[in-house]
Amino acid sequence: MRGQWRDNIEREGLAPIAITISEDSEHMPCPACGTAAALVEGACSDCGLQLE
Ligand SMILES: [Zn+2]
């Protein structure tokens, strides 16, 4: 499955960046401080910026 998917990317010439983003989408990096940790009550756990 995964090897075939890689073959498709090489064939289609898709940028691997899109894959990296989709796999990391669980924790979006904070736009203020860049922390990609889980949110605490919808806010960045590092700087406290409200994200949700
Ligand atoms: Zn932050």
Q: What is the pLDDT of residues 3-41, one digit of tens each?
A: 787 787 678 876 665 555 555 456 778 999 999 888 999
Q: How far is the CA of 27 from the centre of ligand 1 (A)?
A: 12
Yes or no: say if 20 and 29 are a contact pair by the CB < 8 Å rule.
Answer: no
Q: How far is the CA of 31 from the centre of ligand 1 (A)?
A: 7
Contacts for 7 with CB less than 8 Å, ≥ 6 apart: none
pTM for this one? 0.47
Q: How far is the CA of 34 from the centre of ligand 1 (A)?
A: 6
Please report the DSSP string for the chain in residue order: -HHHHHHHHHHHT--THHHHHHHTTTSPPPTTT---SPPBTTB-TTT--B--
Cα–Cα distance measured from residue 24 to residue 18, given in angstroms and rounded to the nearest whole number: 10
